[in-house]
Chains A and B, each alone.
Chain A
C-alpha cells in the first residue's frame, strides 16, 4: 500500500515536471508561434475568406460565394488558362533540363580534380546574383541592336532575334536566364552532397564485377541518388511554377503576354488591379495545383526512389 502511494506520488511529480517542461517549451517558442499565427496562418485563413468575396482594399469585402472560382475556371477571365498552361510549359522544360544540368555539373565536380574547388565556386556564383540584378544584366545582353549576344551572332553573319521584345522568343529567353541562375546553385550542391554519400564500396563491388562507368552510374549512383532526385524534383517543380520576379523585371509579363505566368497574373489582379478577392481565389487554386502535383509525385516515387537498407 505504501509502495503504491509512493509510486503514485512519483508519477504525479513526473507528469507535473513534464507539464512544466511543456509550458516552458511553449513559452520559449511563443514568439515564433505568435508570429506564425499573426503573419502566416492569419493571412492564409483571411485569404481563404477573401477568395469568396469581391474586395478591393478600399471597400468592405462583399460575399459572392464561388463566383471568383467560377470566373477563373469557366474562362470568363481570358488570361487564366493561358497563364496556367504557360507556367506548366515553363516548368516542363525548366525542371528536367535544370535537374539534368545540375546533376551533370555535380558529377563533374565530384571528380577529385585539382581545379574542383575553383570550378565549384564559379558554378555557384550565378545563383548568388539577385534575380533583379540578373534580369537587368540579361536585358542588356539580349538588347537586339546593341547587345553583345546579337553582336556575336552578327559576327558569324546571323541576324539575331529581338529576344525579349519578340513574343516568339521571349519565353525561351527567360528560360535561359532562369537556368543560368539555378543550375549551378542549390540543386547542384544537394546533388554533390548526395553523390558524396554514395558508399564507395558499392562502386568497388560493381567494378570488380566488371561494370563500366555508365553501368555503375545507371545501377549504383542513380538508385542511391534517387531520394535526392525526388527532393530536387519537388522543390524544382514548386520553384518553377512560382516563376515571377524574372518576368516582372525583364519583360513585365510581355510582350503579348508571352511571359505572363500564373503568379504574374495573380500579382496583376491583386496589386495592380486591386481585385484582392479574385487574386485570393487564384492563390488558392494555385495551392491546390501545387499540392496535387506534389502528392502525385510522392505517390509515384514509390516506383523509382530507393532508400538505403530498403528491399524492393
Chain B
C-alpha cells in the first residue's frame, strides 16, 4: 500500500499517509475507536463483515452522489458486488477485492492420480466437473492409514459460516433468509449440506480435527485436499515444487449450482473526511484496473469486482487458477448477513454450536436445537456495530 500511495501522490500531487489498524478482528475495534474520537482515516479498507453495519451507523459516506457528480462509469462493475455493499439505496464501499465465499479447493495432483483420479492435472479445470460425491470419494481414496494411524488425510472442510454456506449453498440451503431476518436451518437441503460435512469428518473419517492447520498439512503432504479460496493460489509453504497442485473451485451441488455468497474487501470513504474530493480521487486510483491487478499479483489480495480486472490477460496468464474463478465470482449471489449486522457474532455462534458434530459427539440433528436457539438469540438482538 505504501508503494501504491507513492504512485498516487506522484500522479496527482495529493499526499497520502498510509496507516495500519492491524489485522481482523481487532481491526474493526480500532476503526470504531478512531471513528468515535474523530481520527479515522479519510479512505478506509473494510470487509463485508462490517461495511453495511458501519455504513448504517453513519461511519461511511454514501458513494452514489459522488459517483453521479463525477460521472464515474460503473458499467464495468458486477451488479451483485454493488448490491453486496449497498443498503437502502446507499453504496458504502467500492468492491476492491471479491471472491465467492470460501469456495476454493486446493488439491494435490500426485496424490489424486495415485488414488485413481487420473484425469486430474494442474489445470484447475480438470476438477470442475466434480460433484460432492466425487469429492468425498476422492477424499476416501486419498486417506491413507498404517498401523491404525492416519498418515494422510483426504480432505479438510471448513466449519465457519463462509465455509459451511459454501457447501449448504451448493445443496440449495442456507443458514439465513436472503433478507437476513429469519433462520432457514430447517430446510432439508440445508441439512443435506451439513450432513455432507459431518460424513467427511465422522462417517468416513477423511478429515483431520476441525482445528487442524490445513495449509501446513497440505504443504507437508499430510493432506490431499482442503477447502480454500482465491488466496489458495498462494501456498508459500510448498518449497521447490515438491509436488503438483492447484487451487480450483468447490464442486457444484445436485442442481449444478455452486454455493457461496460474494465476500468483499471494500474501499470506503469515512463520513468524517474533510477531504472528500481527494479521498474520491484515491479511491478511483485504487479501483483502477492497473493498480488492482498489481495488488493481486503481489499476493496481497483478490481481484476487484470489475469485468476489466476479472478478464485481465495478465491475471489469466500469471495467476495459477484465476481463469476458473472468474465465472464463479460473476455467478455468486450477493453477500448475506443477519439483518441486525451481527455477522461476527453469528459466525462465532455457528463455529461453537456445531463443534460437537464435527468430532462425532452428536449428530447434526442433535446439535440443531441448541444451535437454533443460540443463533436465533443473535438475530433477536438490537442492531449491532
Cα distance A252–B209 when bound, in Å? 15
Say if the beta carbon of B208 comes within 8 Å of chain A: yes
Cα distance A168–B359 when bound, in Å? 10
What residue in chain B is nearest A162 (Cβ atoms)? B209
What residue in chain A is nearest B362 (Cβ atoms)? A256
B208 touches A166 (CB 8 A): no
Say if the beta carbon of A36 comes within 8 Å of chain B: no
What residue in chain B is nearest A256 (Cβ atoms)? B355
Q: How large is the interface on A (under 10, 10 to 19, 20 to 34, 35 or more residues)?
A: 20 to 34
Say if the beta carbon of A27 comes within 8 Å of chain B: no
B352 touches A257 (CB 8 A): yes
Say if the beta carbon of B25 comes within 8 Å of chain A: yes
Partner of B209, one of A56, A159, A165, A272: A165
Partner of B211, one of A253, A255, A256: A255
Which residues of B have CB within 8 Å of A256?
352-353, 355-356
Say if the beta carbon of A307 comes within 8 Å of chain B: no
Residues of B342-385 whose CB lies within 8 A of A: 342, 344-345, 348, 351-353, 355-356, 358-359, 361, 373-374, 377, 382, 384-385
Residues of A162-211 whose CB lies within 8 A of B: 162, 164-168
B359 touches A165 (CB 8 A): yes
Which residues of A have CB within 8 Å of B211?
139, 164-165, 251, 255
Residues of A138-161 whose CB lies within 8 A of B: 139, 143-146, 154, 159
What sequence of 0s and 1s flags, for each residue 100-125 of chain A, a beta carbon within 8 Å of any chain B beta carbon?
A: 00000000000000000000000000
Partner of A58, one of B153, B361, B385: B385
A56 touches B208 (CB 8 A): no
Cβ distance B17 to chain A, nearest Cβ, rounded Å: 24
Say if the beta carbon of B36 comes within 8 Å of chain A: yes
Cβ distance B244 to chain A, nearest Cβ, rounded Å: 23
What sequence of 0s and 1s flags, for each residue 243-270 of chain A, a beta carbon within 8 Å of any chain B beta carbon?
A: 0000000011111111010000000100
Which residues of B have CB within 8 Å of A143?
209, 212
Which residues of B have CB within 8 Å of A255?
210-211, 352, 355-356, 358-359
Which residues of A have CB within 8 Å of B59?
58
What sequence of 0s and 1s flags, for each residue 150-183 of chain B, a beta carbon within 8 Å of any chain A beta carbon?
A: 1001000000000000000000000000000000
Given contacts A58-B32, A58-B35, A273-B384, contact A168 B352 (CB under 8 A): no
What residue in chain B is nearest A169 (Cβ atoms)? B359
Which residues of B have CB within 8 Å of A257?
352
B348 touches A272 (CB 8 A): yes
Say if the beta carbon of A280 comes within 8 Å of chain B: no
- Interfacial residues, chain B to chain A (CB-CB below 8 A): 25-26, 28-29, 32-33, 35-36, 54, 57-59, 148-150, 153, 208-212, 217, 222, 342, 344-345, 348, 351-353, 355-356, 358-359, 361, 373-374, 377, 382, 384-385
What would 7 more interface pairs be, CB under 8 Å, given A58-B36, A255-B355, A271-B25? A59-B57, A78-B377, A143-B212, A144-B212, A145-B149, A145-B212, A254-B351
